[in-house]
Structure 1
Amino acid sequence: MSIGELCIGAVIPRTGRLSRLGDPLSFVLDLLAPAVTHVVNDGRRHDLRLAGRDSRSDPAVARRAVHELVEHERAQIVLTLGGTQVLPAVADTCEELGVPCVSTTFPWQAYVYGRDRDPSRPFAWTYHFAWGLDDIADVFTEMWRLCAPRSAPVGCLWNDQLPGRLLRHPHHGFLPRAAESGHPLVDPGGYPEPATTFTSSIDRFRHAGTEIITTAATETDLALFHRQATEHGLRPRLITSSRWLTYPCTSTASDLSDAGIATLVYWSPRHPYRSSLDGTTPALLAETYEQRTGNQWLQPLGLAYALVEVAVHALSTAGDPADRRSVAEAISRTRLHTIAGPLDWTSGPTPNVALIPLVGGQWRPGGRHPAELAIVTNARLPEIRPDADLAFAR
């Protein structure tokens, strides 16, 4: 017998510039809604429904969406992913309203320091799983070593906004870890996003003799950089790019096909995991997504599925699933094997963060798709064998 309805809410960028990132979470909610209809907590069955709201890729709209989920849908927990401004807006609103939030696809340092929080004073309501800027540096430096000697300089193409500020921060992960590689880092300073020209950065990189570029640029900005670099005689052998280049390039950036772009991989159909809900594998989830949407699988797909897994687990193990404080406490002690890998909030770098490992990938001309993401390094997850060698631009 059911003794009360529970609700899992989700704030999703269904429209706006982040909509491609939001597609996997929209898909997962639609996929799981007919199957995840209840939870059992201490022998008691509770009806369960999933409710979503569109953030429109806008922080102000995202805040209103949280209010709607909490006040109108009576959500016990809110899920979200992605967006350097939208994700913090959702998490901060949940913190203000006193509702548990679980988020992902955002380096944990950006999640913590981007919200002006000292890890020694943990959040009360908001939890996150992802990787760190130091983990990105580890994967990228592994690829740099395959490309050039340790003495070879690396050009840093970083914007003047939150991603760039965090990447160049002397203590918050990427810069100090990358510096340990021995590669001199050439940082010409931040550029505004979207960019209009990269001429000054290109001049600095040429003067320093850089053959490797590292960046977190949007694909449009990176395409502009690559085009202007070619025009000015700068031809990097390797570009390591996080953020938007973890997703397949669109036709607007088709001139990146010969750029030798490598990126981080946090989830793929080849990852050796299973869902705690129903045993679904990454391969099956990716295949289902492609069959039903006609679109290529995206890395956030597995993490979106894991968001729902964590929420269901928290509601199933909380002392009182109808009490939001009890649900938040359940998240804080969660150790769960998911389709995105094992998540452990009891041993993260801060009390509110669980880590997932990264491997290195590179976009290659594809068969089923115009470009396929090949795994090229695996030091952090040796269970996945590389399926290609790292290739360099000529």
Structure 2
Amino acid sequence: MKKETEGGTVHRMRFAGRRATLRGLVALGAATVGAQSIRPASAAARPLKIGYVSPRTGPLAPFAETDGFMLQRVRAAIANGISVAGNVHPVLIIEKDSQSNPNRAAEVTASLIKDDKVDLIVSACTADTVNPVSDQCELSRIPCITTNCPWQPYYFGRGGSPAKGFEYTYHFCWGLEDLIAVYTAIWDSTGAATNRTVGALWPNDAEGNAFSDKAFGFPPALAANGYKLVDLGRFQPGANDFSAQIRAFKAAKVEIVTGVLPPAAFATFWSQAAQQGFKPKIVTFAKALLFPSAVAGLGPRGVGLSTEVAWSPAYPYRSRLTGETSAQFADAYEAATGRQWVQPLGATLSLFEVALDVLRRTTVLTPQGIVASIRATDYASAVGPVKWTGSPVKNVTKTPLVGAQWTAGNRHPLDLQIVSATLAKDIGVQKRLAILT
């Protein structure tokens, strides 16, 4: 073999080496990390890591059924990175499944912080998810933004104090006062069609305890608005016999039933109500009636049930991340998945809209710097304005909420039509509430 010299052969080797290095950098820029392609803009622009915790499996999985589509759209929108303080950074979204278990939610959050070393954590879908995630972030001093859980179970369920608040954890969503206002507006819209006697099903969990709170929950508000409440007290989550409540409701001539139950528990109650001849005129439930699949499973008796709406294709807001209106985003989801739109589609999109806006405005990429950017947020999201101003309490800002009823549909077997929008004048009413028959 010919021995290399310091002449032309070495020069060619160095040139070939530089070409190999360039090819390696190009290959690195096109590499996929966790299903997301990232393109480094410069050697100094490190990847920004966002951890995302949601219940992809388990009883709460319907809240996260849109995650795959939504994350695909978000990743496409930021495929070329985002500009932060003059540098373009690739963004890596690391997903974790809470399995609908609060303990698991805390564990995967700790892993995101310790092992993945994320810059920011986001989470959604009920207090069983967002509370343990937020607690772990507050303990570890990592910025966290959450949504899709009424703010009282999030805040007071974590031992929050309005005088003190939290340092690293922030939440945007409507509150119980909004839910109560929406529900009573739904019921009031029928005029004298009911006797204003309300039967309640509130379990012994974070949401049930908040809804039934005698200071800020439904009981004082219903009394103040002239409603009579029939409530047998808290029952354990997972209960499958509502005979005692149904007997009490029938004895008190209850014509309106409300509560907060998982879909399976509500289906059990509604079936037992039919078996025992209990026929209320209005049924308005949180959680159980949010999803078309759950309501469709009730058969013909699902038509006419009512619930709250935190996002729908009828919302007048546009995503500044994807550029789509609410209706366009819902249409894109249905075309891509073959499934009907669901409310969390807008909530989780807005979560990433806000998170990316926060990172774009951050001047110093430290936990404290990111928190400062969160506090300064003033963003028009897919679910409405998001701006932390210390109201209603520190670390919480509210988004619009309206009331809706399930009707027989044209495009889908069931449609969720807005029947009350007293708290959001820019969101139009689609129909009047119909009494159950």
If the length of structure 1 is used for normalisation, what is the TM-score?
A: 0.94
Hey, what does 1:282 align to over in structure 2?
326
Unaligned runs of 5+ in 1: none
Percent sequence identity is 34
Hey, what does 2:73 align to over in structure 1?
31
The code of the aligned residue for 1:340 comes to V
Q: Report the 3-state secondary structure (helix = DSSP H, G, I; strand = E; otherwise coil) of the residue aligned with 1:80.
A: strand
Asked if residue 11 in structure 1 is aligned to residue 50 in structure 2, the reply is no
Hey, what does 1:211 align to over in structure 2?
255
Asked if residue 195 in structure 1 is aligned to residue 221 in structure 2, the reply is no
Hey, what does 1:129 align to over in structure 2?
172
Q: Report the 3-state secondary structure (helix = DSSP H, G, I; strand = E; otherwise coil) of the residue aligned with 1:16.
A: coil
User: 1:164-207 deviations in whole A, cap 9, x for unaligned?
Assistant: 21111112343333332111111121222222211111121112
Distance 1:168 1:251, change over 3 A: closer
Hey, what does 1:319 align to over in structure 2?
363
The code of the aligned residue for 1:92 comes to D
Query: Distance between the aligned counterparts of 2:363 and 2:300, measured in 1?
Result: 52
Query: Distance between the aligned counterparts of 2:137 and 2:48, measured in 1?
Result: 17
The structural deviation recorded for 1:51 is: 1.6
User: 1:201-258 deviations in whole A, cap 9, x for unaligned?
Assistant: 1121112111111111222222222222223232100001112312224378424635
User: 1:80-108 deviations in whole A, cap 9, x for unaligned?
Assistant: 11133222111111111111111111100
Query: Distance between the aligned counterparts of 2:207 and 2:77, measured in 1?
Result: 37
Hey, what does 2:5 align to over in structure 1?
none
Hey, what does 1:105 align to over in structure 2?
148
Contact 1:237 1:260 in 2 (8 A): no
Q: Report the 3-state secondary structure (helix = DSSP H, G, I; strand = E; otherwise coil) of the residue aligned with 1:118.
A: coil
The code of the aligned residue for 1:368 comes to R
Contact 2:303 2:408 in 1 (8 A): no
Hey, what does 1:118 align to over in structure 2?
161
The 4+ residue runs of structure 1 with deviation greater than 4 A are none
Query: Distance between the aligned counterparts of 1:26 and 1:83, measured in 2?
Result: 19
The code of the aligned residue for 1:143 comes to I
The within-5 A match list for 1:1-394 is 1-2=41-42, 3-37=45-79, 38-147=81-190, 149=192, 152-250=196-294, 253-255=297-299, 257-258=301-302, 260-320=304-364, 322-394=365-437
Query: Distance between the aligned counterparts of 2:292 and 2:300, measured in 1?
Result: 11
Contact 1:91 1:101 in 2 (8 A): yes
Question: Which structure's CA Rg is the greater one?
Answer: 2
Distance 1:40 1:379, change over 3 A: same
The code of the aligned residue for 2:244 comes to S
Q: Report the 3-state secondary structure (helix = DSSP H, G, I; strand = E; otherwise coil) of the residue aligned with 1:110.
A: helix
Distance 1:71 1:172, change over 3 A: same
The code of the aligned residue for 1:83 comes to T
Contact 1:376 1:389 in 2 (8 A): yes
Contact 2:74 2:322 in 1 (8 A): no
The structural deviation recorded for 1:274 is: 1.2
Q: Report the 3-state secondary structure (helix = DSSP H, G, I; strand = E; otherwise coil) of the residue aligned with 1:169.
A: coil
Q: Report the 3-state secondary structure (helix = DSSP H, G, I; strand = E; otherwise coil) of the residue aligned with 2:127.
A: coil
Query: Distance between the aligned counterparts of 1:42 and 1:288, measured in 2?
Result: 33
Query: Distance between the aligned counterparts of 1:49 and 1:250, measured in 2?
Result: 33
The code of the aligned residue for 1:17 comes to P
Contact 2:263 2:287 in 1 (8 A): no
User: 1:98-133 deviations in whole A, cap 9, x for unaligned?
Assistant: 111111111000001111222222111111111111
Hey, what does 2:38 align to over in structure 1?
none
CA RMSD of aligned residues (A): 1.9
Query: Distance between the aligned counterparts of 1:216 and 1:55, measured in 2?
Result: 21
Instruction: Give the length in aligned residue pairs.
Output: 393
User: 1:319-349 deviations in whole A, cap 9, x for unaligned?
Assistant: 21x2111101211221100111111111431
Unaligned runs of 5+ in 2: 1-40
